[in-house]
Structure 1
Amino acid sequence: MTTNLSFILKGSAAQAFRGLTKVLTKAKATAEAAGTAEESYLGARLFPDMSDLKWQVQMITEFAVRGAARMNGTAPDALPNMPMEGDTFDALIARIAECAETIAATDDAAIDGNADLKISMPVGPEQTMELDGQTYVLSFFLPNLFFHVTTAYNLLRMQGVAIGKRDYMGL
């Protein structure tokens, strides 16, 4: 049995976004019940030099949309740019839903047909990385997706939000 890259990319993004939506929804309810400002959750950081919860969600949604576009064959200068917006739980949850729909609509055949596509992307100041499509999905896209979703989960657990593995998994 062969597993297609589209199944991996789209399925993993969908599950990660379900989990992210679930933990943010529970965090919103926790904040409301405690009478705590959302910003105290959304501005949380694991360490001073790390980005906050809000940024984790903003970044991973843009990253996932751009990743699907890359695998769809979109030229680097035509990749979608999403402003780093969303200052409330509701806005971030809406952003996740919009991005999930965009990724779900990406053409499976294009993704699957681009396993050998050479993808060149910036990875730092004056640095680029070149990967083929399959390596990009399996060794760059997936680790980044789960790193930032896990970081968001950990930030909420650190704040005392009652979430667990089933929430993270989007179950």
Structure 2
Amino acid sequence: MTTAPGLKDYLATRRSIPAFQMCEPGPGQAEIEEMLTLASRVPDHGKLAPWRFIVYRGEERGRISADLARLALEAKPDLSEEMIKVENTRLTRAPVVVAVVSTAAPHAKVPEWEQIMSAGAVCLNLLMAANALGYCSNWLSEWFAFDQRAFPVLGIRDNEKVAGFIHIGSPQVPPTERPRPALSDIVTWVGSDS
């Protein structure tokens, strides 16, 4: 069997850059559309496409971040000044943020769990698609991914769930490695290779 050395090398070194360490330039519309096309090429039992994208870019990111900060203050009026600054920059840390929204629903043949995992696969594919086009990326799910009060602000419907917010931009610093689990801690072998 032959291997694709470029892909193997990429997977061996793939890293996320924290969103607060991203800067311009970010991808333009044509590049974003290419990323979303690549991200959509995931296992999808029943061809349901049980996910959709919301792309946040430009000035709207600041307006939405301010609305999220207001919601955060309503929930916790004693937020520190530092946390208020954090809330006000939720969607402005990276030039582009893409919400991957799970639209999983009961289906006669396809379990909801499989549909949800398909949305997770889209998130990972989008990270890799951004990297393939020369950008850095980070998959985040913060408090507003789980707080339905934020859904109207973000354009998410009541019957949907956020699989993740994918932040995309250019790196301010090179990625650093982090500890990875030892295979002996995460693998169970059943049978032999004979």
TM-score (norm 2): 0.28
Between 1 and 2, higher relative CO (CA 8 Å, sep ≥ 6) is seen in 1
Which structure's CA Rg is the greater one? 2
TM-score (norm 1): 0.30
Considering fraction of residues, name the structure with more strand. 2
Considering fraction of residues, name the structure with more helix. 1
